[in-house]
Amino acid sequence: MWQVSPEISEITEITENSQGDGSGKVPPVKPESLPALRGRRLVLALSGGIACYKSAELLRLLVKAGASVQVVMSEAAEHFITAVTMQALSGQPVTTSQWDAREPNNMAHINLTRGADAIVVAPASADCIAALAQGRADDLISLMCLARPWTMAQQPCPLLLAPAMNREMWSHPATRRNVAQVVADGAVLLGPAHGDQACGEIGDGRMLEPEELFDEIVAFFQPKPLRGRRVLITAGPTFEAIDPVRGITNLSSGKMGFALARAAREAGAEVTLVAGPVSQATPRGVRRIDVRSAVQMRDAVLPLAPEHDVFIATAAVADWRPATAAEHKLKKDGSGQCPALSFVENPDILAGVARLPKAPYCVGFAAESEKLAEHARAKRERKGVPLLVANLGPATFGQDDNAVLLVDAAGERPLPEDGRRTDKLSLARLLVHEIANRLDAASA
């Protein structure tokens, strides 16, 4: 029943045996060399609905991430997309009937879920959810889900549902009851989304996009060391206005802060992200507050900080701002003289949070250009925080990968431990687990 696609095996082998580019430098670990779902065995079930076309792209993403995926299709699903397409993408025969005679024991509904890490039903139609809520077993998908291992007596096979239906169907009391029942029975709901629907109407009920579903599936399998915790994160640069069209800022892209927000949410935390002016997409499930200046960031953070367990100050906050911002654009007058600007120091947001009577566990970031460890140690003591994450700003701003130095009262050590640059999401996950371990130690 289960097999690993030859393409995935080949990619893994090439990655693990790579010796670099011949330059003598250790290459950074790229995201694609760390398949997020490597070794996972998934069942992807398609019930009927136009959203089946999205399932093909979701399948491609799952396989690319290293998962072995067995596709199951209802009779209705085959009216929207062919089994040939899904077989080509998965590299495995598609199962379409509970009477599939290819199984030696003729029990596809049993064999499909034994050894599987999860069943993902995408799309999950209103009829499919109703069948699951009522414990029906009159087609392959409902029969398979009912027969999946779900008790702790054996390795459970979780059930993830991606609803897809018309907005009126989604809001109908019967569907709401059925959804509540399947969730009470242990299913995990992925979506739905709000937006344009194939029928021409607009509202809730459309299936999440393939990339969103992929992220949710990856997040599902991440450990949850921050479950029940609340995390506040700042990210990106600040912009300090000189006049209505000019200002002082820096090269921070916000990528590290946004990766930390995603990783913290994956780890089970409730996450609030206060972001400077960046164009990064908000991670799913994260509350985002947009600000522009350092003062606006401080005003957003200070009232929220006491309500959170952790504060991670990733933002590259400008140290100074113009004392006054001109009402109109400052123009050249031909004299060759620049307008005189005076500056005032911006508020120290991290130190301010650390001094609060009910301060969260504070993690600072330092972007230096030289003497990394020396400046990071001094900054940690000056800010009064237990942990400071240091990196070289010119080498990381705008980049997709990084390596950092963790600085605390005991000294400093690199992360990753081998000192190699890794993609920022992988680095964020390492940092989140580092913070979770320190929280547990502090509360022990």
Could you tell me the pTM of the whole model?
A: 0.84
DSSP 8-state assignment for residue 11: H
Burial of residue 36 (number of CB atoms within 10 Å: 0-12, 13-18, 19+)? buried
Do the beta carbons of residue 214 and residue 206 sit within 8 Å?
no
Single out the residue of 441, 8, 429, 437 nearest to residue 222, CA to CA. Answer: 429
Provide the pLDDT for residue 5. Answer: 39
| Distance between CA atoms of residues 26 and 124, nearest Å | 45
Question: Which residue numbers are catalytic?
Answer: 199
- Prior bond of 416 cis (ω within 30°): yes
Chain segment 175-184, per-residue pLDDT in tens = 999 999 999 9
Provide the pLDDT for residue 34. Answer: 52
Q: Which residues of the chain have pLDDT under 70?
A: 1-34, 106, 152-154
Structure tokens at 62: 């799952």
Longest Cα–Cα distance in the chain: 91
DSSP 122-179: EEE-HHHHHHHHHT--SSHHHHHHHHS--STTS----EEEEE---HHHHHSHHHHHHH
Q: What does the angle CA 228 – CA 230 – CA 233 come to, to the nearest 5 degrees?
A: 145
| Distance between CA atoms of residues 325 and 416, nearest Å | 43
Do the beta carbons of residue 142 and residue 43 sit within 8 Å?
no
Gyration radius of the chain's alpha carbons: 26
Domains of the chain, earliest start first: 37-221 (3.40.50.1950), 230-322+343-443 (3.40.50.10300)
Do the beta carbons of residue 129 and residue 175 sit within 8 Å?
yes
DSSP 8-state assignment for residue 397: T
HSE of 412, CA atoms in CB hemisphere, 13 A:
18
Tokens 């169907």 -> residue: 169
Provide the pLDDT for residue 153. Answer: 64
User: In Å, how far are 94, 99, 201, 431 from 104, measured between CA atoms?
Assistant: 16, 11, 46, 48
Within 10 Å of residue 403's Cβ, how many Cβ atoms? 19
What sign does the CA torsion over 78, 82, 84, 90 have?
negative
| Distance between CA atoms of residues 117 and 435, nearest Å | 28
Structure tokens at 10: 């080949």
- Cite the annotated binding site for CTP by residue number: 319, 329, 347-350, 365, 379, 383
3-state secondary structure of 398: coil
Provide the pLDDT for residue 11. Answer: 29
User: In Å, how far are 244, 337, 341 from 328, measured between CA atoms?
Assistant: 6, 18, 15
| Distance between CA atoms of residues 139 and 96, nearest Å | 10
Provide the pLDDT for residue 367. Answer: 85
